[in-house]
Amino acid sequence: MQTLAERVAKRREQLGLSQKTLAEKINVSQQSINKIESGQTRSPRNLDKLAEALDVSPQWLLFGDEPSVVKQVDVYDSEIKASSLRVEEWESMNHDKDEFVEVTVLNVEAACGDGAMPDNEHEVYALPFRRYTLRRMGVNARNARVVRVIGNSMAPMLRSGDVVGIDTANNSTIIDGDLYAIRDGNLIRVKQLIPRPDGGVIIKSFNSTDYPDEHLTREEIEQRIHIIGRVFWSSTLW
């Protein structure tokens, strides 16, 4: 059975795309694509964009149990039938507690910019996640929190108003190039962290034109930075 890594690589080659070209299509680094195809990243944060760029469904990328190519449907096709699916509010549904778990949403705004001053942190509401999804990402629901981001320093990956899921237990080891929520003095920020060989770290924004890289020594990290947790999920507003 093929893995996600093998499906991505095979489909990319079928389309005649290089890793660099595919990375540019979804606004990530070539290193990110290489990590996916080598199996280092098993739960890509940009799964929907990756699937769109490869002209396949996210379901097929993850599990390989659907036809790979997304069928293009003519909106004027007279054979199209109305969907039987119904949209229901989460609060009005009978929840299967074995399948779903609620993750706390805090009233804290984490900055994708120069930083946001946190107010008193308290629960605003909760978002439902499938237990299977959290397990697949290696996240314990007890350690998961959701916050809203402000600012556009991480655009196009994150835009002002998006929400991100943070694994607060994943705060001791920096995975090169992953996103983290950090407390910088009195500020809360969401940034890409890149370890330096000397024990320091590079705090990186995707909008590098307006927000240049910040190079911190090990001493500066110990004095300024506390890693709250790794970003494992995001929801984008368009």
- Give just the sign of the alpha carbon dihedral 41, 43, 49, 50: positive
CATH of the domain at 13: 1.10.260.40
Per-residue pLDDT of the chain (238 residues), as tens digits, is: 478 888 899 998 988 889 999 999 998 888 889 888 888 887 777 888 898 899 888 878 877 755 455 444 444 444 444 444 454 444 445 555 678 888 888 767 777 665 554 445 555 567 888 888 898 889 998 999 998 888 888 888 888 888 899 999 988 888 888 999 999 887 888 999 999 999 999 999 988 888 899 999 999 988 989 999 999 988 875 5
CATH of the domain at 148: 2.10.109.10
Residues with Cβ within 8 Å of residue 156, at least 6 apart in sequence: 27, 206
Residue pointed to by tokens 């947790």: 229
**93: in domain:** no
**Structural domains of the chain, count:** 2
Give the structural domain span for 53.
4-63
In this structure, the number of other CB atoms found within 10 A of the CB of residue 35 comes to 20
**77: in domain:** no
Structural contact between residues 161 and 150, judged by C-beta atoms closer than 8 angstroms: yes
Displacement of CA 53 from its chain's centroid (Å): 17
**15: in domain:** yes
